[in-house]
Amino acid sequence: MSVSDELEARAVELDAADPLAAHRAAFVSDDEVVAYLDGNSLGRPLHATRDRLARFVDAPWGDRLIRAWDEGWMDAPTELGDTIGRVCLGAAAGQTVVADSTTVLLYKLVRAAVDAQARDDPRRTEIVVDTDNFPTDRFVVEGIAAERGLELRWITPGSDAGVTADQVRAVASDRTALVLLSHIAYRSGQLADLPAITRVAHEAGALVLWDLCHSVGSVEIDLDVQHVDLAVGCTYKYLNGGPGAPAFAYLAERHHGRLRQPIQGWMGAADPFAMGPSYEPATGIRQLISGTPPIIGMLPMRDMLALIDEVGMAAVRRKSVALTEFAVEVADRLLEPYGVVVASPRDRAVRGGHVTLDHPDFRAVTAELWQRGVIPDFRPPHGLRVGLSPLSTSFAEVAAGLAVVADELRRAQASS
């Protein structure tokens, strides 16, 4: 039996033993897709979402019309935020809101944090960020630093790693206003030590803002228990909210009276319909809202949140670990002979929900994979990310998809 056949047989055994396997039927699939390995960029839609969207057109929108604002729409950003907080974030009610994009919410939270810190202590003029953070995070803080006359203190992690508590300790000081990091490194999949890094930042008197885009819905998170200050995350990856789904922001209750967000829109006012002459912010988390809430964009994620709530994040994380372990095993046995290197942590405890594989031919190979119905994504300089959404991805998909990767590498080497 060939290595590929052995791995395929092992995948069949793993799927048969998977307690969450039945939930794959809840997701829309396409027979032309051999393996969808990009759930960390865009989650599959659920069948229930199709029905929910149709009902929305016919009922609250088509029937209730503007009356629906008083019948639930106005409260949707905080009501859905509370659901995300309870199901995925370990956050008590009243601290999470759904609004805007990740980029806009990052801007709001970073500006609010550094302005509050400066009011209390003018010496705090630095933001700690890492060079391998997602571009939006880096671009946002660069812009705010220029606006507010702040200095950026850069951490440079290893290309196959993430930021450590020791690295934060080395740069954090009584000049640090904010530490902005990703919980899971978007390139390597490294899972940061959130509790330790948060403690280190707090010891220096800094606030911490965690980007949870690659961790919400894939790993267990306890924001309240770990005394996190602020967090932001998208909902179109593991929460399956669909393309352009609105993001969420978390602001710990202890900061509600201290931080004031900079984009003062009417929906974040204490009384939006007073139409008053000046802005008075709403109390609590609602202050983070600026414009009209994206009601339609909030609909799809409700179905995924209900499914995660039923299964539990602990079970989701166990399946995620099993999938990434299998992906590493397949890469070692099937792809390593072609020069592929696993660029994600091998320690499951510090690995998130995706595995990055490096090879100099992967940019061209990825384009061929898409044509063959195998869909990972590519991240420069030469990383192929295998994104494994626990409730919709099978072990057989992993084996089949990486077998096609091996075939494309074989073809590339034969033609060179």
pLDDT tens column, 278-336: 999 999 999 999 999 999 999 999 999 999 999 999 999 999 999 999 999 999 999 99
Helix (H) / strand (E) containing 170: helix 165-171
- How does pLDDT run across 71-82, given as a tens digit for each residue? 999 999 999 999
In whole angstroms, what is the distance from residue 84 CA to residue 93 CA? 10
Residue 78 CA to residue 285 CA, distance in Å, equals 8
Go through 254-293 and write b for each residue having 16 or more CB atoms within 10 A of its CB, e for each that does not. eebeebbbebeebebbeebeeeeeeeebbeebbbbbbeeb
Handedness of CA 157, 162, 165, 169 (dihedral sign): positive
The mean per-residue pLDDT over the stretch 342-356 comes to 95
> CB of 375 within 8 A of CB of 369?
yes
- Per-residue confidence (pLDDT) for residue 80, from 0 to 100: 98
Residue 151: is it exposed, middle or buried by C-beta count within 10 angstroms (0-12/13-18/19+)?
A: exposed
pLDDT band at 24 (very low <50, low <70, confident <90, very high): very high
Per-residue model confidence (pLDDT) at position 160: 67
Portion of the chain with pLDDT greater than 70, in percent: 99
pLDDT in tens, 177-201: 999 999 999 999 999 999 999 999 9
Q: CATH 3.40.640.10 region(s) of the chain?
A: 72-308
Predicted local distance difference test score (pLDDT) of residue 1: 73
Q: CB of 393 within 8 A of CB of 36?
A: yes
**Residue 244: predicted pLDDT:** 94
Examine the pLDDT at 397 and tell me if it is beyond 80. Answer: yes
Distance CA 353, CA 184 (A): 9
pLDDT exceeds 80 at position 230: yes
Give the C-alpha separation, 183 to 193, whole Å.
8
Query: Could you tell me which CATH class the domain 3-47+312-415 is placed in?
Result: alpha beta
φ, ψ of residue 124 to 5 degrees: the values are -85, 90
Which segment of 66-80, 84-98, 153-167, 262-276 scores lowest on mean pLDDT?
153-167
How far apart are alpha carbons 114 and 145 in whole angstroms? 9
pLDDT of residue 415: 82
Give mean pLDDT, residues 233-252. 97
pLDDT score, position 162: 83
Residue 15 has phi, psi (to 5 degrees) of: -65, -40
Q: How far is the C-alpha of 206 from the C-alpha of 176, rounded, in Å?
A: 6
What confidence tier does 159 reach under pLDDT thresholds 50, 70, 90?
low
Mean pLDDT of 262-267: 95
Spatial distance between the Cα atoms of 330 and 318, rounded to a whole number of angstroms: 19
Confidence band, pLDDT 50/70/90 cuts, at residue 158: confident
- The reported pTM is 0.96
Q: What average pLDDT does the chain have?
A: 96
Cβ atoms of residues 195 and 226 within 8 Å: yes
CATH 3.90.1150.10 intervals, the chain: 3-47+312-415
Nearest to 220 by CA among 250, 195, 254: 195
Query: DSSP string of 45-69?
Result: PBHHHHHHHHHHIIIIIIIIGGGGG
Q: Is the predicted pLDDT of residue 382 greater than 80, yes or no? A: yes
The structure tokens listed for 103 are 């980029």
Q: Which of 196, 131, 184 is nearest to 354 (CA)?
A: 184
Answer whether CATH 3.40.640.10 is correct for domain 72-308. Answer: yes
416 has pLDDT over 80: no
pLDDT > 90: what percent of the chain? Answer: 93
Q: With CA atoms as reference, report the closest residue to 368 among 397, 339, 401.
A: 401
* Active site positions, annotated: 134, 211, 236-237, 385
Structure tokens at 15: 């799927």
Q: pLDDT for 127-140, tens place per residue?
A: 999 999 999 999 99
